[in-house]
Amino acid sequence: MTIHKEGFTSIAIATILFGVINLLSFYLISYDHPILSWIIFIATLGLLIFLISFFRIPKRQLTIEENAIVAPADGTVVVIEEVQSDEYFTDRRIQVSIFMSPLNVHVNRNPVSGEVAYSQYHKGKYLVAWHPKSSTENERHSIAYRKDGKEILVKQIAGALAKRISNYLKAGQQVKQADEMGFIKFGSRVDVLLPLDAKIQVKIGDKPLGGVTVIATW
């Protein structure tokens, strides 16, 4: 397991705060209230470990398959439905939405290899990630991938806690399946808009792994 570059600054700041808080606790509290001092140590250590784990990149056997569309994120499948496209596409699409809790790995990966046909950041609200309107009203970054004349759209969507979306792709760029395409800090959601003839390989409640689980084929 390694730590993602997006976490370096946050972890450094958290480590300094951990040290300062516990030094103050040791010198000011531990003599008269040792139990309280231990509680502060355990609580702050737990928060630091949680923060470090949030930015983890676990070692995985990533899926590279010509006709497969892999999950762009870890999480839970919360939506599989036919929708009218509201961005980039003008036709109807199958939407697969993956909700990412703060406990999930938050690296986002390319679902397919091909060309980045569209890359657009949108300012917006911070509704809870499972809210039906979060796909269209929340802060988000949308990426369209083109492969062999077929296209899909992926939306990185901020949630009530996620206040920073990082995306590394630009229009015209050639990308490889399962490589990193971005990162979302804290709880969030990723929508994938697929052609109607795509064969869905997951169901509501499934817990896909980003870059590993095949969510559809075409």
The rounded distance, in Å, linking the Cα atoms of 25 and 113 is 52
The rounded distance, in Å, linking the Cα atoms of 96 and 191 is 6
Query: 113 lies in which domain range?
Result: 68-217
Same structural domain, 76 and 53: no
101 flagged as catalytic: no
CATH number for 168: 2.70.70.10
| Residue of 25, 134, 142, 188 marked catalytic | 188
- Would 206 be classed as within a structural domain? yes
The rounded distance, in Å, linking the Cα atoms of 112 and 66 is 8
Q: In this model, does residue 58 exceed pLDDT 80?
A: yes
138 falls in which pLDDT band (50, 70, 90)? confident
The rounded distance, in Å, linking the Cα atoms of 145 and 213 is 18
Three-state DSSP class for residue 69 = strand
- Would 62 be classed as within a structural domain? no
Question: Could you tell me if residue 88 is left (phi over 0), alpha (psi between -120 and 50 degrees) or otherwise beta?
Answer: left
Same structural domain, 44 and 104: no
Same structural domain, 102 and 34: no
Q: In this model, does residue 164 exceed pLDDT 90?
A: no
pLDDT of residue 57: 92
pLDDT of residue 160: 63
